[in-house]
Amino acid sequence: MPNLLDAPAPFVTPQLSQQLLRELPQRFFGGLPNTLQELLQNAVRAGANNVTFTLDGLRLTVQDDGPGLSDPQILMTAGESGWDEHVVNPAGLGALSVLNPDFAVSVTYSSQGWSLTLNPEQFTSGAHLSVLRVPQQPGFRIEVQLHPDRLSPTRLNDILTQRRGYAPLNVTVNDVVIAPKERLGTLLSTTVGPLWYRPYRYPGPKLTAVWETFEVNGEHLRDWMGRSDRLVKAFLDNHIVVWDTDPASNARPKLPEREQLIDNAPLHAAAEALRLAVRAEIKRHYANRIDLTQASFKESDFSGPLIALGVETLRVYLHEAGFRQSDLSNPGEINAEIGSGDDETSIYGMEIAWINTHRQAVQFADGDAGVLGMNLLAKQGFAVPWGSQDRDLSASVQRSSAPHVFFRNHDSWNDGHVLASLSDEVFVNDAPVPFAVNVTTEDGVRHLLVLRGPPEAAETYLRAHSDELGGLLLMAVFNWNGLSGGCFGGDDDSDEISAPEVGKALLRHLISAFFPDRAAAAQRAENLGTSNAALSEVIRHMNLALSAQPDAVDPTWPDIIRERLKRNAAAIAALKAEHHLA
């Protein structure tokens, strides 16, 4: 192509190359942020070291110190970028992107002794444009006359701060330096380009690709990497990841915005290569930190390097290694705080753990109470598997013969289940056990806790494990339909419920149902104890009155009351001895 500056009457004509005609739908002009990034990218491709942006009123000037352009006709031929062969996917629209009627009134281009000015309409109409000879100047210069209210110094600064990426340029905006972004974190080498990662505690997509030093949203890449790999997905959910694309991967951004990678076969291939690299990195991290032959892990021990890749990443890793999440806490230490208004009830005293299925039998159990119940039985030496709520395990079966209900829910709206019952036979799978949790009978009624009879044996076991069984029942009610202050027959206004309190209520209801004489005796002993407490208080006040005024009361009354206290105490002792009260 001849240099038009050598012609007697220099002019240039806007033209569209055949390549651009084919690709025009994808390469149409973007908005102002995309245009400014395009100008930075042109400067990088041209080999410039410095780019300055100056906004003076409605005039924006962009100047770089690259080699410039000798022939303006190349500039006006869209799709003929003029870049060397090593430039990846040149669009040939970089400098022309400022000819956007949304923000540009006119544009002046200057380089290597020539200058031309045109407006968007002149370019699209293919009009002849005069080229002026001007003094030689370094680099390439663009001056844009803007429409009013399209750009302010603050917005220009914000756009370039966001869009300048990692480009190896010195970028200034009205003499203010815009520093490049830094690649932070751990470097992981992959076959499709280096990848950096660093922890981020808020789950969500945070994968960015870097294409020709500029950031591109990596949402499609992230989706493909984690689509069928839970371990890699957990890692990506907890890290900021930056991938420097290798041009050989053929992963490309969509034009003109270049804000998103094209979701195509090259991207899928790159995603698979990155997935394998990340998976190998995760396994290297845990290889010398976790003994996979252990019987179990407690989550309370997860700290330091173990959770450096995120707690969820560690959980998925353990799951892949054959561990299943469970609860090894002591049910007797569970307590609940009842929320008010929109507040939720909180349960405390849980000890989340991971059990090795290669070392011990583990089965699915219904709800936290079911898991706790199976694990309590396993700890006590009964022939049952450990419990987990992982649904990929086979399910355990709790069953009993016809249960006799002795403890119903005090909340009328919580019908459809009973709190506790007694049965002649109770099994978990086929193993006879002293209790079972969440047993549904043939009539469809759920029994949250079933004790094995006869009543005397159930009472003996309940007294030995009152706190633990109380905690199981507390958790079962919480799992089933929530807790309220009066659901176990206590104070409706109470905002705290503990496992020992529920255990005592459980024992009280068992005795009332199967040992009515003892229940009546216990109530009589309780009433006598209450009477003695009140009489003791009366004596104290009488003594105070007598010390202040000797004739205030009959001085023999305190002795009479003391005699009553002795008779009541003897009656209480007799009731406890006769009916074996605690």
Residues 165-187 have a mean pLDDT of 94
pLDDT at 292 over 50: yes
Does 24 share its domain with 150?
yes
Question: Which pLDDT band, with edges at 50, 70 and 90, does 8 fall under?
Answer: very low
Residues 353-377 have a mean pLDDT of 95
Q: Of 287, 322, 345, at which residue does a domain stop?
A: 287
Does 492 share its domain with 566?
no
Question: What's the chain's average pLDDT?
Answer: 86
Distance of alpha carbon 174 from alpha carbon 176, whole angstroms: 6
Q: Of 465, 495, 514, at which residue does a domain stop?
A: 514
The pLDDT tens digits for 382-395 are 999 999 999 999 99
User: In this predicted structure, what is the pLDDT of residue 22?
Assistant: 35
Does 343 share its domain with 477?
yes
3-class secondary-structure state, position 216: strand
How many Å separate Cα 385 from the centre of its chain? 31
Does 338 share its domain with 461?
yes
Does 199 share its domain with 78?
no
User: In this predicted structure, what is the pLDDT of residue 137?
Assistant: 86
* Structure-token pair, residue 556: 């023999």
Question: Which pLDDT band, with edges at 50, 70 and 90, does 364 fall under?
Answer: very high
User: In this predicted structure, what is the pLDDT of residue 502?
Assistant: 93
Does 125 share its domain with 252?
no
What range does the domain containing 476 cover? 331-514
* Domain presence at residue 526: yes
Residues 462-474 have a mean pLDDT of 96
Question: Which pLDDT band, with edges at 50, 70 and 90, does 268 fall under?
Answer: very high
User: In this predicted structure, what is the pLDDT of residue 275?
Assistant: 98
Residues 185-203 have a mean pLDDT of 91
What HEC string does 370-432 produce? HHHHHHHHHHCCCCCCEEECCCCCCECCEEECCCEEEECCCCHHHCCEEEEEEECCEEECCEE
Residues 131-160 have a mean pLDDT of 94
Least Cα distance to 224 among 210, 242, 239, 205 occurs for 205
Q: What number of other Cβ atoms are within 10 A of residue 227's Cβ?
A: 12
Q: By percentage, how much of the chain surpasses pLDDT 70?
A: 87
The residue whose two tokens read 């520093």 is 179
The pLDDT tens digits for 78-131 are 555 544 444 444 444 567 788 888 899 999 999 999 999 998 888 877 778 899
Distance of alpha carbon 140 from alpha carbon 65, whole angstroms: 7
The pLDDT tens digits for 486-545 are 667 655 556 788 999 999 999 999 999 999 888 888 889 999 999 999 999 998 888 888
Q: Of 514, 529, 547, at which residue does a domain stop?
A: 514
Supply the CATH number for residue 283's domain. 3.30.230
Q: What number of other Cβ atoms are within 10 A of residue 273's Cβ?
A: 17
The pLDDT tens digits for 16-42 are 554 443 343 334 456 889 889 989 988
User: In this predicted structure, what is the pLDDT of residue 29?
Assistant: 52
Does 102 share its domain with 150?
yes
* Domain presence at residue 64: yes
User: In this predicted structure, what is the pLDDT of residue 384?
Assistant: 95
State the pTM of this model: 0.76
Distance of alpha carbon 424 from alpha carbon 455, whole angstroms: 9
* Domain presence at residue 132: yes
Preceding omega of 10 cis (within 30 degrees of 0): no
* Domain presence at residue 320: no
Does 335 share its domain with 266?
no
Does 456 share its domain with 534?
no
User: In this predicted structure, what is the pLDDT of residue 334?
Assistant: 92
Distance of alpha carbon 256 from alpha carbon 25, whole angstroms: 9
3-class secondary-structure state, position 268: helix
Does 480 share its domain with 364?
yes
The pLDDT tens digits for 269-287 are 999 999 999 999 999 999 9
Does 486 share its domain with 367?
yes
* Domain presence at residue 78: yes
User: In this predicted structure, what is the pLDDT of residue 340?
Assistant: 60
Does 55 share its domain with 70?
yes
